[in-house]
Amino acid sequence: MRRKNSSSFGILFVLVLAIVGGVYLYYSTLFERDVPDISLETNGYWNLKEPLNLSIKDNSGIKSYKVILQSSTGEKILYSEQPLVLNNNINVAVEPPRSAYAMKDKIVKIIVEANDASKWNFLKGNSSVKEFELIIDKRRPELAAVIHSYKINKGGSAVVIFKANDENLKEIYIQTNYNKKFIPQPFYKEGYYISLLAWPVNSENFKATIIASDYAQNVSKSYIPLYLKQKNYRISHIKISDKFLKGKIAELAEEFVETQGVQNPLEQFKIINEDVRAKDENLIREITSKVSKEMISKFKINKMHPLKNGQVVATFGDHRKYLYEGNYISESYHLGIDLASNAMAEIIPQNGGDIVYSDFNGLYGNMPILSHGLGLYTLYGHCSSVNINSGDFLNAKNVIARTGTSGYAMGDHLHFGVLVQGIEVRPAEWMDSTWIKLNITDIIDSAKKIIDGK
């Protein structure tokens, strides 16, 4: 009987030992069964100039790996390595071979083989093979200027028309020296583009470069050689009175979240003039930065006179510095012109367009914004009443609103702003039919003739 019990105990012990051993083998990193994870940073294109970033990962360590370039002429080993020290993560910059740039292939394959240090599979470990098919594109996009405005004024606008072509074209934009990217719109015929440009009033210089890139990271650049015309804008030193602080500023401070709980009138003014203004202007720039992706063949703009018999009471680009008892407090730029005639005068745009905004906007009060195409927008601030709604289309020479004192306005007037892709520009240019003809419409008409080969 004892012998039988001893035998049963031995069998049970062996069984438990086997289970424990099996569990150990199942969960042990040394015997892990996952194949190496291979990944290549690629969008499916390769220019045979930039390296491709290869990553191989495995919990038990990478014992060996091989990278092969497969083309129509055969296979070429780019890398073959057995690391002396096991590593769980290997990153390789896969450089093209010197002879690769002479290849005529449109498509090649990168084949990656990797083996790990696991003892699984009868000590052979786990292996993985992954193939990546790549389209070869060694050519930079074709990029050539067609025509552009002769000059651009500080604070002003210009237009450029150019050709850009690439079978794998990814992105086209115009990079400026002040970190603004203007997005061009397709123009007239396939492969041609047009864009208005703007030189901000608070930027001392202006430079614009057309940049085209394809999916293989080939890049072409073309500088736009505009003649730069400097213009001096007014600097105003404005004294702040206690009457102003206790009147208009106290009234505005009750409306804005940013000034709730702030009792100091000067601090209220600073917050309104800087923080609230920045928020309001950021909304304006967000709304007016958009440009259509549809092809445009013509762009007709009438000179802009939104207020009949309107007199200019504040100019564009005025750099306002505010003083209290002789001490500097704050500053801002006036990025439109103020026009005044009769109280609650009719506002009648001379150009139709899409109504992209018609609501209250802080310091600007009741404020419609119209889009006229090609990234050109007009803004109408401080209105007492508004007759249009966002999302509607407006025909030219219709009453859209009436002047008023809503927002940060000391008297009944219209704040009229013109923006090019989110950048405020001189309304005076767009209120001048001769300027529009010479700098915009004539350039567009000439571009069509050049493109047609006339």
What topology does CATH give the domain 27-136?
Immunoglobulin-like (2.60.40)
Would you say residue 123 has pLDDT above 90? no
* Percentage of residues in the chain having pLDDT higher than 90: 86
Residue range 32-42: mean pLDDT, rounded: 93
Q: Do domains 27-136 and 235-421 have the same CATH topology?
A: no
Would you say residue 27 has pLDDT above 80? no
The number of beta carbons lying within 10 Å of the beta carbon of residue 223 is: 10
Residue range 236-243: mean pLDDT, rounded: 95
Task: Please give the pLDDT value at position 272.
Answer: 97
Q: Which amino acid is at 410?
A: M
Task: Please give the pLDDT value at position 9.
Answer: 61
282-333: pLDDT as tens digits:
999 999 999 999 999 999 999 999 999 999 999 999 999 999 999 999 999 9
169-225: pLDDT as tens digits:
999 999 999 999 999 999 999 999 999 999 999 999 999 999 999 999 999 999 999
Return the domain boundaries, the chain: 27-136, 142-230+444-452, 235-421
CB 83 within 8 A of CB 58: no
Task: Please give the pLDDT value at position 4.
Answer: 55
From CA 415, how far away is CA 381, in angstroms rounded?
A: 5
What topology does CATH give the domain 142-230+444-452?
Immunoglobulin-like (2.60.40)
For the record, the structure tokens of 50 come out as 């930039």
Q: Is the pTM of the predicted complex or chain greater than 0.85?
A: yes
What topology does CATH give the domain 235-421?
Glucose Permease (Domain IIA) (2.70.70)
From CA 311, how far away is CA 295, in angstroms rounded?
A: 38
Q: Within 260-371, where are the H helices?
A: 265-270, 277-287
